[in-house]
């Protein structure tokens, strides 16, 4: 296969022939790394300015170069310029586009950089941009959960462990628990951004450049905090990708958890929640069905996010320094996690924001299942009984209820005294759901006063998250 001027690749000079069709097919990445075109052009502008500062481009050449890059970006955006199989990757395609517009001048842009530092820079720019979009979506989800918590703030629910009734809680308290998980996800992404704000551009293939380039200026131009301190590490480091994929995997786990709860809450057996028609689906055979598909897809896609993380870690394991072609495989799993998360989070947000909570159904079982047993034990503790004994006494009262087929609050003062004389009539004061809720007023508790404080704190947290986004808007 002869190589001609039109199909010369970025690496073709040393070779007497082009690659075999099989080699071309295996090496091809432009069909997925085209997502990086915007960021590659951004890096090219910064690199052109550094070449000009190093007197490798004169003023006229720089102006023509920047104008051609702007024109090329418009053509990429409107679809009139696209990468092809002959281009191999996004970098080759865009160099072709530049040379088509500038002729030999376009070839000057390659000086002092390699595809190794280009792709590492592009991927960091892509992820930092998309992380801000993901954070914005997570803020909207927190806001939707907060809105429902405020709307149904005083609705009592059975708090569960092992999916068994445990203690009464406010339903708003459970909704807010999900908000805290997503707030931690935002914190992780914000913290990730500090480590991702390092520019690899200027590292070249692995050893830097003998040209008088300025990695510090490039880093500043591209919005990074600083350039990489080691050129080998700059082109081989994918920690920031692995860390990002861990964060998205954990977001997926959190989405899966709330998805599962919505699936349970919408069952006939629970009946706690009704989904809006526009955020549910039906059955092709059973006319009565209303399926919580978004919750189910949240569960399913969590495995996909986890799988993408595992795929990357496996790719990175035992790679020798510096750059290896294995790293071509880092992008598809990363793009998939970004794009699937940007589909899923808004859908979950819409499901939550539009669902109706059936308050009577939620509250109906709040005190059942002997959910007040802990309150009996803690009442005994306040009377000076060691908790070990108090636990046994309360358990004996539960056993009495099981034998009678009743709840703790159905027992009379005489019944309780028969279980243990230390269960005096005053214990009846704690055998109410409202009393159990009000008693848990410490920080982070489920008492109405504590939940109001929690809501105020969450509002401040969401405001701080929005403030982090403002500089990037």
Q: Is the pLDDT of residue 199 over 50?
A: yes
Q: Kind of pairing, strands 226-227 and 273-274?
A: unpaired
For residue 265, tell me if it sits in a domain: yes
Q: How many other C-beta atoms lie within 10 A of the C-beta of residue 395?
A: 15
Distance CA 187, CA 185 (A): 5
pLDDT of residue 473: 43
pLDDT per residue as tens digits for the range 14-46: 777 778 888 888 989 999 999 999 999 999 999
In a domain, 442, yes or no: no
Angle between helices 448-469 and 171-196 (to 10 degrees): 30
Residues 6+ apart with CB under 8 A from 327: 119, 236, 238, 315, 319
Q: How crowded is the C-beta side of 80, counted as CA atoms within 13 Å?
A: 6
**Band of residue 12 on the pLDDT scale cut at 50, 70, 90:** low
Clarify whether residues 332 and 402 are in a common domain: no
Is residue 426 one of the residues assigned to a domain? yes
Which domain range does residue 411 map to?
Answer: 373-431
Assess whether 329 and 378 both reside in one domain: no
- Whether 162 is a known active-site residue: answer yes
Q: Kindly report, residue by residue over 204-220, the tens digit of the pLDDT.
A: 999 999 999 999 999 99
> What digits encode the pLDDT tens for the residues 124-156?
999 999 999 999 999 999 999 999 999 999 999
Where among 335, 362, 389 does a domain terminate? 362
Distance CA 291, CA 281 (A): 5
Contact 249, 305 (CB under 8 A): yes
User: What total of structural domains would you count in the chain?
Assistant: 3
Residue 465 lies in a domain: no
H or E segment and range at residue 199: strand 198-199
Q: How far apart are the C-alpha atoms of 354 and 328, rounded to whole Å?
A: 42
CATH number at residue 21: 1.10.275.10
pLDDT digits (tens, 9 = 90+) for 273-295: 999 999 999 999 999 999 999 99
pLDDT tens-digit readout, 341-356: 999 999 999 999 999 9
Instruction: Decide which of 327, 362, 397 is a domain's last residue.
Output: 362
Give the bridge partners for 281, in sequence order.
Answer: 291
- How far apart, in Å, are the Cα atoms of 349 and each of 14, 262, 306, 342? 54, 12, 21, 11
Q: What is the CATH number of the domain that holds 178?
A: 1.20.200.10
Report pLDDT digits (tens) over 378-398: 999 999 999 999 999 999 999
Question: Is residue 443 among the annotated active site residues?
Answer: no
pLDDT tens-digit readout, 319-331 = 999 999 999 999 9
Same domain, 311 and 232: yes
Note the pTM of the prediction, 2 decimals. 0.93
Residue 126 CB contacts under 8 Å (≥ 6 apart), including other chains: 35, 36, 39
Does 367 fall in a domain?
no
Domain shared by 230 and 345, yes or no? yes
Residue 3 pLDDT > 60:
no
Which residues pair with residue 159 across a beta bridge? 167
**DSSP for 255-300, written as a single string:** HHHHHHHHHHHTSTTT--EE--GGG-B--SS-TT--B-HHHHHHHH
- Residues 78 and 164 occupy one common structural domain: no
- Active-site residue (options: 162, 210, 284, 443): 162
Does 437 fall in a domain? no
CA distance 320 to 341: 32
Evaluate whether residue 469 is within a structural domain: no
Q: What are the phi and psi torsion angles at 157 (to 5°)?
A: -140, 160
Residue 133 and residue 218 in one domain? yes
For the beta carbon of residue 383, count every other beta carbon within 10 angstroms.
12
Same domain as 34, residue 83: yes
CATH number of the domain at 414, please. Answer: 1.10.40.30
Task: Examine residue 460 and state whether it is found in any structural domain, yes or no.
Answer: no
**Residue of 20, 31, 276, 283 with catalytic role:** 283
Half-sphere exposure of 126 (CA within 13 A, CB side): 26
Residues 194 and 290 both lie in one domain: yes
**Could you tell me if 217 and 347 lie in one domain?**
yes
| pLDDT band at residue 67 under the 50/70/90 scheme | very high
On whether both 289 and 323 belong to a single domain, the answer is yes
Task: Characterize the bridge pairing of strands 226-227 and 198-199.
Answer: parallel
The pLDDT of residue 2 is 36
pLDDT tens digits for range 263-273: 999 999 999 99
Overall average pLDDT of the 178-200 stretch: 98
Q: Are residues 320 and 352 in the same domain?
A: yes
DSSP code, position 165? E
**Residue 471 pLDDT greater than 90, yes or no:** no
Q: Are residues 63 and 123 in the same domain?
A: no
Is residue 47 predicted with pLDDT exceeding 60? Answer: yes
CB atoms within 10 A of CB 5: 6
């Amino acid at each position: 296969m002869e190589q001609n001027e039109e199909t010369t690749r970025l690496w073709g000079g040393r070779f007497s022939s082009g690659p075999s069709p099989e080699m071309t097919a295996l090496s091809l990445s432009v069909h997925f790394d085209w997502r990086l075109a915007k960021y590659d052009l951004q890096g090219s502008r910064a690199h052109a300015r550094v070449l000009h500062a190093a007197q490798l481009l004169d003023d006229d050449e720089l102006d023509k170069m920047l104008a051609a890059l702007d024109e090329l970006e418009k053509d990429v955006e409107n679809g009139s310029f696209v990468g092809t199989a002959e281009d191999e990757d996004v970098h080759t395609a865009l160099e072709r586009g530049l040379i088509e517009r500038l002729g030999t001048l376009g070839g000057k842009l390659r000086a002092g950089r390699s595809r190794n530092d280009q792709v590492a820079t592009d991927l960091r720019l892509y992820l930092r941009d998309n992380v801000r979009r993901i954070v914005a979506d997570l803020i909207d989800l927190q806001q939707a959960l907060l809105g429902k918590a405020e709307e149904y703030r005083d609705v009592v629910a059975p708090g569960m462990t092992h999916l068994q009734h445990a203690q009464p809680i406010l339903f708003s308290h459970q909704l807010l628990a999900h908000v805290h998980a997503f707030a931690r996800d935002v914190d992780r992404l914000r913290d990730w951004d500090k480590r991702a704000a390092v520019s690899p551009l200027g590292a070249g293939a692995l050893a830097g450049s003998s040209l008088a380039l300025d990695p510090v200026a490039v880093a500043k131009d591209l919005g990074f905090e600083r350039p990489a301190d080691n050129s080998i590490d700059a082109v081989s480091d994918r920690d920031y990708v692995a860390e990002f994929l861990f964060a998205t995997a954990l977001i997926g786990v959190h989405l899966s958890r709330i998805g599962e709860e919505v699936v349970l809450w919408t069952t006939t057996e629970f009946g706690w929640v009704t989904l809006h028609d526009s955020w549910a689906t039906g059955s092709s055979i059973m006319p009565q069905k209303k399926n919580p598909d978004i919750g189910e897809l949240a569960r399913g896609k969590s495995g996909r996010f986890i799988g993408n993380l595992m795929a990357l870690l496996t790719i990175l394991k035992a790679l020798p320094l510096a750059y290896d072609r294995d790293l071509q495989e880092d992008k598809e799993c990363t793009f998939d996690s970004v794009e699937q998360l940007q589909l899923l989070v808004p859908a979950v947000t819409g499901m939550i924001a539009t669902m109706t909570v059936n308050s009577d159904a939620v509250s109906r079982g709040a005190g059942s299942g002997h959910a007040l047993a802990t309150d009996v034990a803690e009442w005994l503790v306040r009377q000076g009984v060691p908790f070990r004994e108090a636990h046994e006494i309360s358990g004996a009262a539960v056993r009495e209820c099981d034998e009678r087929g009743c709840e703790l609050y159905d027992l009379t003062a005489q019944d309780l005294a028969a279980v243990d004389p230390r269960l005096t009539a005053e214990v009846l004061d704690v055998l109410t759901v409202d009393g159990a809720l009000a008693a848990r007023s410490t920080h982070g508790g489920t008492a109405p006063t504590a939940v109001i404080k929690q809501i105020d704190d969450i509002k401040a947290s969401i405001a701080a998250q929005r403030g982090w986004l403002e500089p990037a808007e």
